[in-house]
Amino acid sequence: MPELPEVEVTRRALQPHVLGQTVTQCIVRQGQLRYPVAPELASLGGQSIVAVQRRGKYLILEFSSGALIVHLGMTGTLRYFTAMRPPQRHDHVDFLFSSGALLRYHDPRRFGALLWITRHEENMTTPFWEIHPCFTPLGVEPFDAMFDGDFLYRRTRGLQCAIKPLLLQGKLVVGAGNIYACESLFQAGIDPRRGAGRIGRERYGRLASAVRTVLGQAIEAGGSSLRDFVDASGNTGYFQLQHQVYGRTGQSCVRCGGPIRHMRQGQRSTWFCPDCQR
């Protein structure tokens, strides 16, 4: 399942190819994804892509009249082809460009989404598409300057819930999915069961840095796959990092040598070192 790093790598891979390209036509072969494919795609002809952005796990292609908001769901991929090629199974949507190239949305399980928001007057600080309801529940971006220990500290005062499920919700900060939450808490030395309201400012500082480091490393690891997004018909690999705790039940902690423990928190698996994480 694509997480924030995969979506960011998709953005970086596609941007140099699609930016400035003019759409001649959108072909929708299967309009029933998680939500119906936006009908506005039918009138995209003649419009150019003016920006390629990301917010959380959403990819945003800006046009002059609005923005296409793409969520890859469980199995979605976007690939760029320099010339037309016959569609394969699960190739649901094509964006044909005047250059002869195309951008193709592929999604076997069809949990993805192609949404539209019409452009309106923007203020200086937030892009116009941010008012789409899909962005309302999202926390801050991990690489945003406002995401730091002080931010986490202030937002968690009085909260009784454990820090790990709180991170997974994505309402504080986006991108800390299960793998990245486990790894960040290990790096920061914080027990995933610790009450969020009982973690100090300094330890939250370490957690904010850890979240950025872990996500940054994953994005960097995906950098080697950039060319797989262009003229590649195989699976665009979702990359895996060398994990320090995730999935390592019973194996030795890289810090203290003790056994990594597995437990369930809510419906999710958590891995941690009971000695290094307090």
Is 255 near Zn ion (CB under 5 A)?
A: yes
> Shortest distance, CB of residue 66 to Zn ion, whole angstroms?
50
The single residue among 109, 233, 256, 266 that binds Zn ion, judged by CB under 5 A, is 256
> Shortest distance, CB of residue 185 to Zn ion, whole angstroms?
12
The single residue among 253, 270, 271, 272 that binds Zn ion, judged by CB under 5 A, is 253
> Apex CA 174: angle with CA 172 and CA 178, to 5°?
100
Is 276 near Zn ion (CB under 5 A)?
A: yes
Query: Which span sits near Zn ion by CB under 5 A: 38-46, 140-148, 253-261, 263-271?
Result: 253-261
Cα dihedral: 190, 177, 250, 191 (round 10): 10
Pattern 215-244, Zn ion, x by CB under 5 A: ------------------------------
Residues designated catalytic: 2-3, 57, 268
Q: Which is nearer to Zn ion, 161 or 256 (by Cβ)?
A: 256
Q: Which is nearer to Zn ion, 54 or 248 (by Cβ)?
A: 248
Cα 187 from Cα 55, distance rounded (Å): 25
Cα 199 from Cα 160, distance rounded (Å): 11
Chain centroid to CA 20? 24
Is 262 near Zn ion (CB under 5 A)?
A: no
If binding means CB under 5 A, how many residues of this protein chain bind Zn ion? 6
Please say whether the beta carbons of 251 and 259 come within 8 A.
yes
Nearest-CB residue for Zn ion: 253
Query: Which span sits near Zn ion by CB under 5 A: 12-20, 31-39, 94-102, 247-255?
Result: 247-255
Query: Which span sits near Zn ion by CB under 5 A: 163-171, 192-200, 210-218, 267-275?
Result: 267-275
Q: Which is nearer to Zn ion, 81 or 246 (by Cβ)?
A: 246
Cα 120 from Cα 129, distance rounded (Å): 9
Is 273 near Zn ion (CB under 5 A)?
A: yes
Residue 94's DSSP bridge partners are 27, 104
Is 190 near Zn ion (CB under 5 A)?
A: no
Query: Which span sits near Zn ion by CB under 5 A: 30-38, 75-83, 206-214, 245-253?
Result: 245-253
Is 251 near Zn ion (CB under 5 A)?
A: no
Which residues lie near Zn ion (CB under 5 A)? Answer: 253, 255-256, 273, 275-276
